[in-house]
């Protein structure tokens, strides 16, 4: 499965850049990974850039209104998409104001990391680590139990 990770901007803090790089490298052992960094001066411009970068790929938006997953649940979701013939999924984190209603309506799924408000850098890191953890669960590897 190909995972297209879309973010508004790049991680700014050293811990987040380092963590992103590490988990991206690890995730590439299980999936083809494409990363797109988009920009925009407004919420509407950011959402438009995300939609354009995702193209026709099924879009999963990180959004506080979305569905929460356990690690096993996220693993099962990605596996089910692959078994259904979906070759690529796009996971997108918006800017400080989130996504527009229009983009939410276009999404296949809204995914919530929980009820806490996380800084942008930390949300990016949590997303990529969660996807890596899900991949190790699917592969039956011990990372998840560590």
Class of domain 2-145: alpha beta
Taking a C-beta distance cutoff of 8 angstroms, is the pair 86, 1 a contact? yes
Predicted structure pTM score: 0.95
Q: How would you classify residue 85: left for phi > 0, otherwise alpha for psi between -120 and 50, otherwise beta?
A: left
Model pLDDT for residues 8-67, shown as the tens digit of each residue: 999 999 999 999 999 999 999 999 999 999 999 999 999 999 999 999 999 999 999 999
Q: Using one digit for the tens of pLDDT, what is the confidence trace for 94-146? A: 998 999 999 999 999 999 999 998 999 999 999 999 999 999 999 999 886 65
Per-residue pLDDT reduced to its tens digit, 74-89: 999 999 999 999 999 9
Sketch the domain layout of the chain as residue ranges: 2-145
Instruction: Write down the pLDDT at residue 142.
Output: 87
């Amino acid at each position: 499965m190909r995972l297209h990770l879309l973010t508004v901007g790049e991680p700014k803090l050293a811990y987040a850049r380092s963590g992103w790089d590490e988990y991206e490298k690890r995730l590439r052992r299980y999936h083809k990974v494409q990363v797109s960094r988009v920009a925009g001066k407004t919420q509407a411009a950011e959402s438009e850039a995300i939609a354009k970068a995702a193209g026709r790929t099924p879009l999963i938006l990180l959004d506080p209104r979305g569905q929460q997953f356990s690690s096993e649940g996220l693993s099962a979701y990605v596996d089910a998409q692959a078994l259904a013939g979906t070759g690529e999924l796009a996971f997108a984190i918006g800017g400080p104001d989130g996504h527009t209603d229009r983009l939410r309506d276009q999404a296949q799924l809204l995914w919530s990391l929980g009820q806490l408000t996380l800084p942008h850098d930390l949300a990016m890191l949590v997303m990529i680590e969660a996807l890596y953890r899900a991949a190790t669960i699917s592969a039956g590897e011990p990372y998840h139990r560590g």
